Amino acid sequence: MTSPPSTVTLVAAVARNGVIGDRGDIPWRLPGEQARFKALTMGHVLVMGRRTYESIGRLLPGRTTVVVTRQPDWQPAGGRPDGILVTGSVEAALTHGRQLDERVFVAGGAQVYAAAMPAADVLELTWVDADPDGDTYFPDVDWTQWSEVRRETHQGWSGVRYARGAKKNETSCNASGSDGDIPREAPLLPGPPSGQ
C-alpha cells in the first residue's frame, strides 16, 4: 500500500500592498492571526529560511522545522534542538519534509516562498487589511492557476485557502462560521515598489 502524496502549502500573512515583513519582523499584530497559523501547522513539517527562523527566535513546539540556509555550518543560537533539520536548498527541504509528513508547510521568507511556489498545491494566506511599510514582499502569484476554496473573515484580516486548479469557492464562512456574502476575487499582489 502506498502512502498518499504529500501536500505542499505556502502559509503567509500578506498585507494589501504585498508586504510580509519589515526589518525581520511582522509589521502587524492581529488577534487570532497567529492562532490560525498554529492551528494550520501544528503536528506537521515547517520549512523556513534561516532569517525567518532567527526572527522567530525559537523552535515552534509540535512541529518539525526544516531550516534552509546557504551556511552549511549554521547552528541556531544555543545549539540545535531536537525537531530541527538544516538543508542547503528549498528543494532538499521539501524532499525531507515529504519524507516526514504528508503535509508540508512553507513559512517564509520571500526567497523561500518564491522557490517553493512551483511545488505548492495550496496557499493558506492571511490577507491583512492594511498597507504597512515593509522591505519584504510575498512573491508574484499567477492567479490563473489558483482557485479560492475557503474563506474566513475576521476584524482586520481574512484567512483564505487557495488550491491549485480546484473548483472555486467550495466553502466560505465568516468568523462566526456562517456563510457570508464575501468578495471572491483575490487581491493583486503588487510586489515591491519600483527600484527596490
Give residue-wise pLDDT tens across range 30-48: 999 999 999 999 999 999 9
pLDDT at 186 exceeding the cut of 90: no
Non-local (6+) Cβ contacts of 88 within 8 A are: 68, 69, 70, 72
What per-residue confidence (pLDDT) applies to 82?
76
**Among the listed residues 128, 169, 97, the one whose alpha carbon sits nearest the alpha carbon of residue 12:** 128
Which residues, including other chains, have CB under 8 Å from residue 106's CB and lie 6 or more apart?
8, 9, 10, 11, 46, 47, 48, 90, 94, 112, 113, 116, 120
CA distances from 36 to 5, 87, 144 (A): 24, 27, 26
What nine digits make up the cell of 27? 509589521
Contact 151, 181 (CB under 8 A): no
Q: Please choose, from the candidates 96, 119, 159, the residue with its C-alpha nearest in 3D space to the C-alpha of residue 7.
A: 119
Average pLDDT over residues 12-34: 95
Q: Quick check: 57 pLDDT over 50?
A: yes
Report the pLDDT value the prediction gives residue 3, as an integer from 0 to 100. Answer: 57
Instruction: Please check whether residue 105 is in contact with residue 38, taking contact to mean a CB–CB distance below 8 angstroms.
Output: no
The answer to whether residue 193 scores a pLDDT higher than 50 is: no
Q: pLDDT > 70: what percent of the chain?
A: 82
pLDDT of residue 119 exceeding 60, the answer is yes
What is the per-residue pLDDT across 66-99, written as a single tens digit (0 to 9) for each? 999 999 888 887 777 777 999 999 999 999 999 9
Q: What is the pTM of this model?
A: 0.83
All domains of the chain in start order, with CATH: 7-174 (3.40.430.10)
Contact between residue 49 and residue 71 where contact means Cβ atoms under 8 Å apart: no
- Per-residue confidence (pLDDT) for residue 32, from 0 to 100: 94
188 has a pLDDT exceeding 70? no
**Across all residues in the chain, what is the average pLDDT?**
85
Question: Which has the minimum average pLDDT: 1-5, 16-20, 56-60, 164-168?
Answer: 1-5
Helix/strand number for the chain, H first, E second: 4, 11
Euclidean distance between CA atoms 185 and 134, whole angstroms: 24
3-state helix, strand, coil in the chain (%, to 5): 20, 30, 50
Higher pLDDT, 50 or 192: 50
CA 191 – CA 196 distance, rounded (Å): 10
> Which pLDDT score is estimated for 182?
30
Average pLDDT, integer, range 155-163? 96
